[in-house]
Amino acid sequence: MTIARHRLPRPAGPARAGPTRAGLPGALRAEWTKLRTEPGTAWILAAIFVLTVAVGAATAAATRCGAGTGCAIDPTKVSLTGIEVGQAVVAVLAVLVISGEYSTGMIAVTFTAMPRRWTVLAAKAVTLTGLVLAAAVVAVAGSLAAGRLILTGNGITAAQGFAVVSLAHGPTVRAAVGSVLYLALVGLLSLGIATIVRDSAAATGTVLGVLYVPPVIALFLGSEPAWQRWIERYTPVNAGLAILNTTGLRHLAISPWAGLGVLAGWAAAGLLAAGLLLRLRDA
């Protein structure tokens, strides 16, 4: 006996979603609305700015260099120290974008409204990147302004031979643009990881582990220079943060833009794995 397969009639007419709602623009609008109306978002964006600038300014304030002691201070890098903390907040925002939906069950509604999972992920990535870029531009500009002011007050001046934070200084501009991109890429990498992990707390822990564990491992591998160099060249944060350097570039394990490229590669791989898992797994 065979069972005949019946094809359900496709819904026609007004019951079908219109083309303006189903594509990427519709998904983008939906994601933007979700993120915009989430009460935490504004606080998180403010925290990215405040923590980045505050930590950068505090570091600049603690940086002193007596005349003739020959200390090698990179003023731009010192001013942008806050990126190390700001990236944690960016990661939290990225985790909330996806894991927040899993913890409330909202994800089922999202996929009902927009069954194309790649489109949902792309819309989330674009929305997140837009917000992070906006916050990062303000945070980096604030950090550099504060760093310039404070370091000059501490006697770290061009007259002493330091590469002072200045828009006329090519490497400073590169570091500024690069660190904005760095934060955006950290956001995308975190989004990928959070989509894979799904649970919000576990995702936060995993993302922060990925951000903070390799740098310390590299630090303690002083007796194994080959491993240390490998970590500095190929892990997301170590390689990506090479972009902050404006002096002593010859001594870097990886050149600034290549380092950012490594981070971009990790972010792309994370998003790719996340997209595949989104398609393969049940929500």
Partner 1 sequence: MTATITPYRPPQQAGRAGFVQLLHAEWTKFRTLRGWVIAVVIAAAAIAVVGVLLPHSGQSHCGSRSGAACLALLATGPGGEAVNDSYYLAAQPLAGDGSITVQVTSLTGLVSSGNGGFAGPGSPPPGTLIPGLVPWAKAGIIITGSTRPGSAYAAMTVTGSHGVRMQYDYTSDIAGLPGSVSAASPRWLRLTRSGDVVTGYDSADGRGWTEVGVARLAWLAGTVRAGMFATSPLNFTPNFPTYAEPGGSLSASLATGAFDDVHLRGGAPGGRWAGQHVGTIGANYDGPRIGLRQAGGQFTVTGSGDIGPVVAAGTNSIFITGTLADHLFGVFIGLLIMIVVAAMFITMEYRRGLIRTTLAASPRRGRLLAAKAVVIGLATFVLGSAAAAVAVIAGSRIAHDSGIYILASGWPIEARVILGTGAMLAVASVLALSIAAMLRRSVAAVAAVVVVIVLPYILGVSGVLPASASEWVLRVTPAAGFAVEQSVPQYQQVVGHYGPPDYYPLAPWSGFAVLCVYAAVALGLAAWLLRRRDA
Residues that bind partner 1 (CB under 8 A): 40, 58-59, 62-65, 69-73, 78, 81, 84-85, 88-89, 91-92, 95-96, 99-100, 103, 200-205, 208-209, 212-213, 215-216, 219-221, 223-224
Q: Which is nearer to partner 1, 62 or 272 (CB)?
A: 62
Nearest-approach distance from CB 85 to partner 1, in angstroms:
6
- Minimum CB–partner distance for residue 200 and partner 1 (Å): 5
Q: How far is the CB of 35 from partner 1 (least distance, A)?
A: 14
Minimum distance from residue 169 beta carbon to partner 1 (Å)? 21
Q: Toward partner 1, which CB reaches closer, 100 or 130?
A: 100
Residue type, 149: L
Residue among 81 and 195 whose Cβ is closer to partner 1 = 81
Least separation in angstroms between CB 55 and partner 1: 8
**Measured between alpha carbons, how far is 196 from 241 in angstroms, rounded to an integer?**
24
Q: Give the nearer residue to partner 1 in terms of CB position, either 99 or 172.
A: 99
Nearer to partner 1, 59 or 235 (CB): 59
